[in-house]
Amino acid sequence: MEKKRQTDNKRGKGKSPQPRFNAIWIYVPLLVMIGYMYFFGANGGDPIKTEWYKVKEQMIAQGDVEKVTFITNQNRAEVSIKKDSLGKYKNMFGGREPKYGPHFYFIVSNNFDSEQQLEEARGALPAEKRFSIETEERTNYWGKVLDWLLLPIIILAIWFFALRNMSKNVGGGAGGGGIFNVGKSQAKLFDKDNQVKVTFKDVAGLEEAKVEVMEIVDFLKNPAKYTALGGKIPKGALLVGPPGTGKTLLAKAVAGEANVPFFSISGSDFVEMFVGVGASRVRDLFKQAKEKAPCIVFIDEIDAVGRARGKNTGFSSNDERENTLNQLLTEMDGFGTNSGVIILAATNRADILDKALMRAGRFDRQIHVDLPELKEREAIFNVHLAKLKLDKDLDTAFLSKQTPGFSGADIANVCNEAALIAARHNKQSIGKQDFLDAIDRIVGGLEKRSKIIPPHEKKTIAFHEAGHATVSWLLPNANPLLKVTIIPRGKALGAAWYLPEERQITTKEQMMDEMAATIGGRVAEEIINGRISTGALSDLEKLTKQAYAMVSYFGMSEKVGHVSFYDSSDGYGFNKPYSEKTAELIDKEAKELIDAAHAKATEVLKANMEGFTKLANLLLEREVIFSDDLENIFGPREKKEEELLLEKESETKEEMEVKENE
């Protein structure tokens, strides 16, 4: 029992709860007083106002008055009614007889001769019905006190409630709140009593990142394994990657898997309107972490406080944020070697983080969480599809092929959207078409079949989209086409879906073919209508950006040379890193690339006018066509050099295996 008692005391269970101030302590007495005055105020208290003629003609004339008191310094006279006569006036007191007086009062003007008037009225009564007359001077001390205290009380009450509401907004959160606790850390603590249910089983497709993170957890569980060889436990790891790739999910899995305390906080939680609050919260966070060591501290969206210092100070200076960052740098580098506190942080803007924050000793490791590849997308689909009712013949490999460039969050959205579409059509299970419709909706937007488009505009749109489809199909390096539609979606009047290749590098030839496919719609309008329209705006925007990137970033221009003006460290510079002459040359070279793509698209379309026209008419008829329709018109796509090389390598391998077997 003693041991149990000690344990409870350690956990805080043995401590008696401390009383805390609550506004109900003020409200309840006030309500009681108001209720008392309402229900019992008629039994005594303030008299009811009346007029002198009523007192004289009714109350005095009937012999109901017991006493009249004239208050000289208030020009007021109070009337007390005899007990046996109170029943006549019950209605005026809410149906109750007051227990004590005075019961009525009337205002006395300066012209009113009280002694004469009262004496005349009393003299007219029989001796047994006469009332007594008293004169007094009365001072209301409580009224004077209230006059002095009322305004300060009102000001204090307003200040109290305003401060209370401010404390909820300013100092609220996990740390208990209050304006006086505004400098306390807002981090949420997850430990044995408050566990996260997410585990590494819920994280699919991030195998390399999971290995790195699991190793960090192992550092904390078995530190002797690493320190015995003289190694030092890493102090921090930074999760870097595009939005939606699973950085925060990975951190949640660490919290669910690790048997150590886990502090979770957002970078924006350090930022506050008060000076010095951010630095104070950083100190408090690391103080708590040291007390709970070994533990993990996770800072999500660290770029909110970790932005590089000293850049464009005249435009975006924020001393408070920099002070917070300085304190964070100090705390991260101030630990002992084996203090047992490891920092995890996540950001999708690693390029803007301060170099001092990124150095070894603070964040020893950078774990890149990239967009999932084909096999990883399939694994992510399997995680999200486990909770859905699916058709038996649904192929997850097919779905993963249809979603190149999708993040984990995008795939989760696809699965949810497919379920909603199936439910909208009253289906009992989710099929392949539901997922395809979900992908189309997410990529292109909602179909607008009710939108009225004139026939001549619809024809232009059909030939525009057919131009894209024809050029992309006939050029071997362009992305293969999946689907073309002239049904309006989102802001677009028509759309074409492509299946981008999952490649790590892109050649100039591939980029030129993609540019030709992009401008294919504009070229189709020129050939068919003899004029151009505004429908190619998004195509031209994409085309221009790609051309300038090829010239100024990738060094794909012979005249500009093998130079790159891309600055990965600072993308927000106000000055161009080249001269005006070079700028003119870049503009000229970019235009030449666009002209070359235009010429190539024109050549392809004019050489295949029959198939191009047939495709456009088919699109007008069906509104939606697929890659099978293009194959029927133009035949199978030309194989790329890479595909031919792979086929030759596979044939060579098969021949060698046959010879070895012989």
Q: Which residues are catalytic?
A: 465
**Phi, psi values for residue 430, rounded to 5°:** -100, 125
539 contact partners, CB below 8 Å, separation of at least 6: 518, 519, 521, 522
**Phi, psi values for residue 28, rounded to 5°:** -65, -50
DSSP at 430: B
Residue 603: predicted pLDDT: 93
Q: Could you write out the DSSP letters of every residue in 161-209?
A: HHHHHHHHHHS-STT---GGGTTS--PEEESTTS-----GGG--S-HHH
Residue 596: predicted pLDDT: 94
Q: What is the pLDDT of residues 386-426, one digit of tens each?
A: 888 888 888 888 888 888 888 888 999 999 999 999 999 89
The token pair that represents 492 in the structure block: 């677009």
Strands 104-107 and 76-81: antiparallel
Of 513 and 170, the structure prediction assigns the larger pLDDT to: 513
43 contact partners, CB below 8 Å, separation of at least 6: 96, 98, 99, 100
Q: Could you write out the DSSP letters of every residue in 349-402?
A: -GGGB-HHHHSTTTS-EEEE-----HHHHHHHHHHHHTTS-B-TT--HHHHHHT
Tally of residues, the chain: 662
Residue 35: predicted pLDDT: 56
575 pLDDT above the threshold of 90: no
Residue 80: predicted pLDDT: 86
250 contact partners, CB below 8 Å, separation of at least 6: 203, 206, 209, 210, 213, 239, 369
- How far apart are alpha carbons 293 and 274 in whole angstroms? 30
The token pair that represents 361 in the structure block: 């000793």
184 pLDDT above the threshold of 70: no
* Residue 286's pLDDT band (cuts 50, 70, 90): confident
Q: What is the pLDDT of residues 633-656, one digit of tens each?
A: 888 877 655 554 545 555 555 556
Residue 67: predicted pLDDT: 86
Determine how many CB atoms are found less than 10 A away from the CB of residue 90: 13
Say which residue the tokens 């303030």 belong to: 46
Residue 162: predicted pLDDT: 67
Is the separation of the CB atoms in 266 and 300 below 8 Å? yes
306 pLDDT above the threshold of 60: yes
Mean pLDDT score across all residues of the chain: 78
What average pLDDT does range 2-25 have in this prediction?
47
Quote the distance between the C-alpha of residue 165 and its chain's center: 23
- How far apart are alpha carbons 81 and 103 in whole angstroms? 7
Q: What is the pLDDT of residues 79-92, one digit of tens each?
A: 888 888 888 887 78
225 pLDDT above the threshold of 90: no
- How far apart are alpha carbons 459 and 524 in whole angstroms? 11
Residue 402: predicted pLDDT: 83
Residue 1: predicted pLDDT: 41
What average pLDDT does range 133-156 have in this prediction?
73
Of 310 and 215, the structure prediction assigns the larger pLDDT to: 215
548 pLDDT above the threshold of 90: yes
Q: What is the pLDDT of residues 320-364, one digit of tens each?
A: 778 888 888 888 875 554 467 888 899 988 888 888 888 888 888
- How far apart are alpha carbons 374 and 345 in whole angstroms? 27
209 contact partners, CB below 8 Å, separation of at least 6: 239, 246, 250, 367, 368, 369
User: Nearest 10 degrees: CA dihedral of 102, 105, 108, 114?
Assistant: -40
Residue 304: predicted pLDDT: 85
* Residue 233's pLDDT band (cuts 50, 70, 90): confident
Residue 6: predicted pLDDT: 45
